[in-house]
Structure 1
């Protein structure tokens, strides 16, 4: 998609606000993770990855939706221009992180899609949130949308592999591979459940024993 330089400048000017939103949310998450670690001796967040869509890919997504490629439509209809992926060790960590985000006074959760309790047919699992966060600029305050995906390491490994295969076959994955991917998703879920069980047992052993007296 060829874009005029003047139009591209306007889009890049808009997208810097999404960078500010990512900076804001990343800072919040790092603080929450460190505080949780201090209180519970366990950090729920293993990795944080963030990215911003390019103006070109955003315009293409608007076109696929049958919408005009305008700045207004991008702000209104494209919710994943700014995205953060949180990877954690355990399924319970996912919901702990969600609760920490939910309790932030200046974060508004606009949408929740729980693909852990209700996985996609191909086996995909993740917790998706669309939030907005206030960004204080020199002349105004903007509420900016950010998509947050929260997964375990096993879920993330599977999703990364599925994504690569999806595009390698131009979205037309052979049935045999689809079946293998679903089986791999089931194996990843089994691993998550086993690790959760082990964590629960470790926590029980780690509890201080009651002193008889």
Structure 2
């Protein structure tokens, strides 16, 4: 292998590294936004609607295989145009209402460009799959330029995530046709997961109403301030000042 070939391989390696870094940085930007929302809810609200998050980057091999299946040119510009889920973030929420709550909070962030919304909760897939998908563009500032990078965000409940994860494990790389009986049972399992979500949503609403009716019991709790797991008691003078203003 001569010097020119080595230089070409080195340049290609740098290009693909920079390409993958863009998506890694875009994921980091979204993850930071979610972490801020989580901390805000922990400090200011009764509960956190976000249970957990999980991010992933497609491997270069997976990207090449997908672009080949689409019969598209194998180039960086073609990949950016035709594969929009290279970077993905999954947000798991407690309740169905939380899904739309988190979605609305992301939509109001002016630096995120919402390209597409697919609501598989209101319109589930035929196999029973449910989730809310947002395709967003995130600005990434690199040393020599700014890039707009696509990230796919999936928001779902714990029950939806449980069903989808197991469905993926059962049929991962299964290229044969699935028997109709198994398809029916899989759909029934999705319906059961949805029924559980609906019941938990109703219980959550009813408990929230009960809490509202007993707000006076929270007065003592409101005198406590918790920041970074440190507990502070509001000064009496401050409380008196607030009472006078009220």
Alignment correspondent of 2:136: 131
1:207 to 197, 200, 212: 212
How big is the shift at 1:209? 4.4
Alignment correspondent of 1:195: 200
Alignment correspondent of 2:22: 17
Give the direction of change, closer, same or farther, for the CA distance of 1:179–1:195 in structure 2 (3 Å limit).
Answer: same
CA contact (8 A) 1:94 1:127 kept: yes
**Structure 2 counterparts to residues 27-46 of structure 1, below 5 A:** 27-46=32-51
Which protein has greater RCO, CA pairs closer than 8 Å, 6+ apart? 1
CA distance in 2 between counterparts of 1:167 and 1:31 reads: 34
4+ runs deviating over 3 angstroms: 4-9, 208-211
Structure 1, unmatched stretches of 5+, are none
Is structure 2 residue 88 aligned with structure 1 residue 50? Answer: no
**Structure 2 counterparts to residues 157-196 of structure 1, below 5 A:** 157-167=162-172, 169-170=174-175, 172-196=177-201
Is structure 2 residue 165 aligned with structure 1 residue 154? Answer: no
**Structure 2 counterparts to residues 54-73 of structure 1, below 5 A:** 54-73=59-78
How many residue pairs match? The answer is 208
How big is the shift at 1:40? 2.4
Scaled by the length of structure 2, the TM-score of the pair is 0.80
CA distance in 1 between counterparts of 2:15 and 2:48 reads: 40
How big is the shift at 1:103? 0.6
Alignment correspondent of 1:104: 109
**1:78-135 residue CA offsets vs partner (Å, 9 max, x unmatched):** 1100000000110000000000100101111000000000000110000001001111
- The RMSD of aligned alpha carbons is 1.7
CA contact (8 A) 1:67 1:73 kept: yes
CA distance in 2 between counterparts of 1:84 and 1:64 reads: 23
CA distance in 1 between counterparts of 2:134 and 2:206 reads: 30
Larger radius of gyration: 2
Structure 2, unmatched stretches of 5+, are 1-7, 217-246
